[in-house]
Structure 1
Amino acid sequence: MNLISMSIWTLENHCFIVYTTLLVTFVVFTLFHKKRMESHQHRINAKVEKLTPIGTGGRERDFPDDSDGDPILTSAIPEDTPHIPYKPLRRSDDEVLQRSREYYELMAKRRTVRMFSPEPIPDEVLDNIIMTAGTAPSGAHTEPWTFVVVQDPKVKEAIRAIVEEEEDLNYRKRMSRQWVADLRPFGTQPPKPYITDAPAILLVFRQTHSWKADNKKRMHYYSEVSVAIAAGILLAAIQYCGLVALTSTPLNCNSKLRDLLARPLNERLELLLPIGRPHQDTTVPDLHRKTLDEIMVKI
């Protein structure tokens, strides 16, 4: 073999070695990266599994098993539950149209207020609006809601103290500057005098799950949506009977208020609503709602 042939042979060998080395390195790196991503995803899934309450409607929990690991085979509602005729009062098109207009005109006057009259509300009125909220549909008829009514002045003071302490931190440290700026037109601040001024405070808790008669966990499917629908019906009932409310979502207060009100760990606070009559000096921002064309699409 002459010198030129040896040089070519050596170069080809070097190229082959380099190519092989690069190929092996690429394969090893790919496998390592895949393994690392799988491990990372496993850790994320584990955290989500730990932090996401069972039955919140999250995709990971759409088809859950019970706490023993065995498939859920029986429903809390008996399979042989009879179906009964449903025959609501039939109304003419003219009646339906008239009632739709009247109800819209009533609900269009609904406003959120922050100044309440201390006039008491009859207990039967509170009972009726909560029973009305309880007519809401829910996933698999689990009815995942608890409505806590507070009228005791001392308990309202304790609730206000907890909310104001957390709200002060929210406004100073937790909420973005844009968020705080967006709230200025509505006059919201850490002090919450309406909590003690209103004759009644209604706290809406969402049950993430419950238990069956055999002490097995009962899943609450789409509990967030179910409670949201119930809250909407509740607000409509409050408006219908001539009262007003403030829809408040007290950030970072869930555990403290749950402990104060002796609620179980499977319940999470979703809304805090002062309810009553508006104070005679109440004012509200001059806001305008979106038009029908802006909120509806017909296909």
Structure 2
Amino acid sequence: MPNDIPLLGYVEYPATEMGERACAFRAEMERRRSVRHFSTRPISRQVIEEALRSAGTAPSGAHMQPWHFVAISNPEIKRRIRAAAEEVERAFYEARAPQEWKDALVPLSTTWRKPFLEDAPYLIAVLAQRHHLDAAGCPVKHYYVPESVGIAVGLLIAALHHAGLAMLTYTPSPMGFLNEILGRPS
């Protein structure tokens, strides 16, 4: 196994250009906001796929890429996801959410109702993979899964924003219903 893997495509910029590029990127990211109200205007699947390809370039523990992205545009699947999400969200808001959490959400006008799950042209489910199966069907452990998936999601968010799309990270708890609806193993 080689000790040094060539860094293909690397471009070394002059110091002033590095600073300009860093400032321009920061300025672009400062405009990024999470939104809860989406246009129903269609989005090209190519834009979504390119953003997912960008996310797939993320570094990961032992380069295992322990993620699976599912881009969902089918209205019926989005409806099922919304119904299941609202069921767990309602239970959370009514029984489990601490008052401090509810108070923090007041400025955002967030409730258990999640119409954006049907309004947004695409939902992207991000599923972590604790292991994969090798050619013989034996499990191979993945390393630093939460960290690796988090980095990939960060790149996905930046890529979507760079393409001119608004988005929202949304994490219902529990979210096991996604595995069932999307036909993924639990």
**Could you tell me which of 175, 199, 202 is aligned with 2:97?**
175
Q: CA deviation at 1:214?
A: 2.0
Q: Could you tell me which residue of structure 2 aligns to residue 88 of structure 1?
A: 10
Aligned-partner residue type, residue 259 of structure 1: E
**Could you tell me which of 54, 63, 75 is aligned with 1:153?**
75
Q: Could you tell me which residue of structure 2 aligns to residue 246 of structure 1?
A: 168
Residue 264 (1) aligns with residue 173 (2): no
Q: Could you tell me which residue of structure 2 aligns to residue 135 of structure 1?
A: 57
Give aligned pairs, total: 186
Aligned-partner residue type, residue 260 of structure 1: I
| Shift in CA distance, 81/92, structure 1 to aligned 2, threshold 3 Å | closer
Please give the alpha-carbon distance, in whole angstroms, between the structure 1 residues aligned to 2:80 and 2:162: 30
| Superposed CA offset, 1:236-260 (max 9, x none) | 0011111000111111122x21011
Other structure's SS at 1:139 match: coil
> Larger radius of gyration, structure 1 or 2?
1
Q: Percent identity?
A: 37
Please give the alpha-carbon distance, in whole angstroms, between the structure 2 residues aligned to 1:226 and 1:145: 8
Which 4+ stretches in 1 moved above 2 angstroms?
Answer: 79-87
Please give the alpha-carbon distance, in whole angstroms, between the structure 2 residues aligned to 1:81 and 1:205: 32
Aligned-partner residue type, residue 262 of structure 1: G
Q: Could you tell me which residue of structure 2 aligns to residue 12 of structure 1?
A: none
* Higher RCO (CA-CA < 8 Å; seq separation 6+): 2
Give the alignment's Cα RMSD to 1 decimal: 1.5
Please give the alpha-carbon distance, in whole angstroms, between the structure 2 residues aligned to 1:80 and 1:100: 32
| Shift in CA distance, 148/81, structure 1 to aligned 2, threshold 3 Å | farther
Aligned-partner residue type, residue 202 of structure 1: I
Other structure's SS at 2:70 match: strand
Please give the alpha-carbon distance, in whole angstroms, between the structure 2 residues aligned to 1:80 and 1:95: 33
**Could you tell me which of 121, 126, 140 is aligned with 1:199?**
121
Other structure's SS at 1:147 match: strand
Which consecutive unaligned segments of at least 5 residues does structure 1 have?
1-78, 266-299
Other structure's SS at 1:202 match: strand
**Could you tell me which of 210, 215, 224 is aligned with 2:137?**
215
| Superposed CA offset, 1:135-182 (max 9, x none) | 000001110000011101111000000000110000000111111111
Other structure's SS at 1:251 match: coil
Q: CA deviation at 1:83?
A: 3.0
| Shift in CA distance, 104/85, structure 1 to aligned 2, threshold 3 Å | closer
Q: Could you tell me which residue of structure 2 aligns to residue 57 of structure 1?
A: none
Q: Could you tell me which residue of structure 2 aligns to residue 166 of structure 1?
A: 88
Please give the alpha-carbon distance, in whole angstroms, between the structure 1 residues aligned to 2:184 and 2:38: 27
TM-score (ref. length: structure 1): 0.60
Q: CA deviation at 1:81?
A: 9.7
Please give the residue correspondences for 1:1-299 in structure 2 after superposition, counting only pairs within 5 Å: 79=1, 83-86=5-8, 88-254=10-176, 256-265=177-186
Which consecutive unaligned segments of at least 5 residues does structure 2 have?
none
| Superposed CA offset, 1:178-222 (max 9, x none) | 111111111110010101011010110000111111222111001
Q: CA deviation at 1:133?
A: 0.2
| Shift in CA distance, 207/100, structure 1 to aligned 2, threshold 3 Å | same
Other structure's SS at 2:10 match: coil
Please give the alpha-carbon distance, in whole angstroms, between the structure 2 residues aligned to 1:114 and 1:262: 26
| Superposed CA offset, 1:86-129 (max 9, x none) | 45111101110111111111000000111100011101101100
